[in-house]
C-alpha cells in the first residue's frame, strides 16, 4: 500500500496522510493535500493552498484555515516560506509561527526547507509536480519539510535538511524517518540533456533515476534521485517511504504544472508536532 493513504475528510475533501507515522507516533500529523476540497474556482479548482498563483487570496486563506482545522490544528499555527527552487534550510522558531499564513510578505523568505522542534507549529510547503520531502525525528521530537524540484534536488536539499536537523536538534540520520510524497513520476516528466547533466553531477555510479526517451530527451524520476540522496545522508532504507502517486497521471486528484501548462493551483505538504508532545 502507498505510504500516503487517501482519506476522504468529507464529501468534497481528499487528504493523503502518512498513516504509518500517525499510527505509531501520537503527537505527529503529516501528509499531503489533493486538489479536492476548498473553494477555489476555475484552474484552481478547488483546494489551492498557495498565494503566489493569482488565485483569490481570501479564498486561499480560507482553504488553509479549513485544512488546519481538519488536522486538529489552530489555523494561526500555519507557517510557510517563499519557495525559490533553492536549498536554504530555515530553523523555525516561535517568532516564525504564523509566517506567510495571510500574505507572502510575512512568509519566511528565500527558503525551500523548514524545520522545527516546536509543538503547535504547522509547517507547510507547496507543490504542483515538485517532490515533497518529509522528515520526522521521533527521538529528539523534531520535524521538517523540503521542497525538491529538479533544482533543489541537484542542490542536495534532502541532505542539507538532514544536516540542519543534526546541527540544531541532535538528529542522527539513522534515527530519522523520511517520506517522499506524491509528485510527477518518471512516467510523465520529460527533461532535456541540460537537466540530466546536473543530475549526473551528483556522481551516482549508475544511471539512477532517468532513462532516454528520444533524441536528447530523458524521463526523469526525482523520487528515486531524492531517495538515493537520503541513503547517502545515512537514512536507513527502511526509513524512507516513497509514494507511487504521480501528479501528472492523476490531474483528477492533483494539480500538475506540466500537464496543465503552468496554469494551476498548489497542493500543500504539512507536518506538525501536536500540542500533546509537551506532555510526553
- Site residues, Zn ion (CB under 5 A): 185, 187-188, 246, 248-249
Between strands 122-127 and 78-79, the pairing is parallel
Min dist. Cβ of residue 211 to Zn ion (A): 14
The nearer residue to Zn ion, 44 or 189, going by C-beta atoms, is 189
CB of 155 within 8 A of CB of 107?
no
CB of 254 to Zn ion, least distance (A): 10
Q: Considering beta carbons, is residue 119 or 248 the nearer one to Zn ion?
A: 248
Q: Closest distance between Zn ion and the C-beta of residue 83, in Å? A: 22
Residue with smaller CB distance to Zn ion, 28 or 188: 188
Distance of alpha carbon 200 from alpha carbon 154, whole angstroms: 9
Using the minimum distance from each CB to Zn ion, give the nearer residue, 57 or 187.
187
In order of 21, 54, 61, 68, 274, the CA distances from 36 in angstroms are 23, 19, 16, 15, 25
In the chain, DSSP assigns E strands to 4-8, 14-18, 28-33, 78-79, 89-91, 113-116, 122-127, 131-137, 142-148, 177-180, 190-192, 210-214, 217-220, 240-242, 267-273
> Least separation, in Å, of the C-beta of 190 and Zn ion?
11
For strands 89-91 and 113-116, give the pairing: parallel
User: How many angstroms separate the most distant Cα atoms in the chain?
Assistant: 59
**Nearest approach, Cβ of residue 247 and Zn ion (Å):** 8
Q: Which of 155, 161, 108, 111 is nearest to 135 (CA)?
A: 161
Nearer to Zn ion, 65 or 251 (CB): 251
* C-alpha torsion sign, points 14, 66, 124, 37: positive
| SS3 state of residue 139 | coil
Q: How far is the CB of 180 from Zn ion (least distance, A)?
A: 15
Nearer of residues 236 and 249 to Zn ion, judged by Cβ: 249
Q: How far is the CB of 221 from Zn ion (least distance, A)?
A: 10
Nearer Cβ to Zn ion, position 70 or 249?
Answer: 249
The continuous run of DSSP H or E covering 160 comes out as helix 157-169
Amino acid at each position: 500500500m502507498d505510504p500516503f493513504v487517501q482519506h476522504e475528510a468529507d464529501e468534497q475533501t481528499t487528504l493523503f496522510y502518512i498513516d504509518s507515522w500517525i499510527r505509531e507516533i501520537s503527537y505527529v500529523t503529516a501528509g499531503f493535500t489533493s486538489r479536492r476540497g476548498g473553494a477555489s474556482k476555475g484552474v484552481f479548482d478547488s483546494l489551492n493552498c498557495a498565494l503566489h498563483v493569482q488565485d483569490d487570496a481570501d479564498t486561499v486563506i480560507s482553504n488553509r484555515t479549513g485544512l488546519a482545522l481538519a488536522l486538529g490544528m489552530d489555523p494561526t499555527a500555519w507557517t510557510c516560506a517563499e519557495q525559490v527552487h533553492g536549498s536554504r534550510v530555515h530553523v523555525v522558531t516561535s517568532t516564525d509561527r504564523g509566517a506567510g499564513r495571510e500574505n507572502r510578505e510575512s512568509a519566511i523568505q528565500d527558503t525551500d526547507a523548514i524545520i522545527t522542534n516546536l509543538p503547535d507549529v504547522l509547517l507547510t510547503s507547496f507543490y504542483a509536480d515538485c517532490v515533497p520531502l518529509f522528515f520526522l525525528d521521533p527521538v529528539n521530537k523534531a520535524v521538517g519539510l523540503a521542497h525538491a524540484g529538479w533544482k533543489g534536488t541537484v542542490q542536495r536539499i534532502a541532505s542539507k535538511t538532514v544536516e540542519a536537523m543534526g546541527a540544531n536538534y541532535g538528529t542522527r540520520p539513522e534515527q530519522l524517518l523520511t517520506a517522499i510524497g506524491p509528485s510527477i513520476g518518471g512516467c510523465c516528466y520529460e527533461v532535456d540533456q541540460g537537466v540530466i547533466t546536473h543530475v549526473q553531477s551528483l556522481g551516482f555510479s549508475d544511471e539512477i533515476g532517468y532513462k532516454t526517451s528520444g533524441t536528447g530527451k530523458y524521463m526523469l524520476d526525482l523520487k528515486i534521485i531524492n531517495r538515493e540522496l537520503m541513503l547517502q545522508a545515512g537514512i536507513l532504507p527502511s526509513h524512507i517511504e516513497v509514494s507511487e502517486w504521480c501528479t501528472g497521471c492523476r490531474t483528477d486528484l492533483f494539480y500538475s504544472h506540466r500537464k496543465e501548462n503552468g496554469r494551476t493551483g498548489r497542493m500543500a505538504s504539512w507536518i506538525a508536532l501536536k500540542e500533546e508532545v509537551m506532555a510526553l
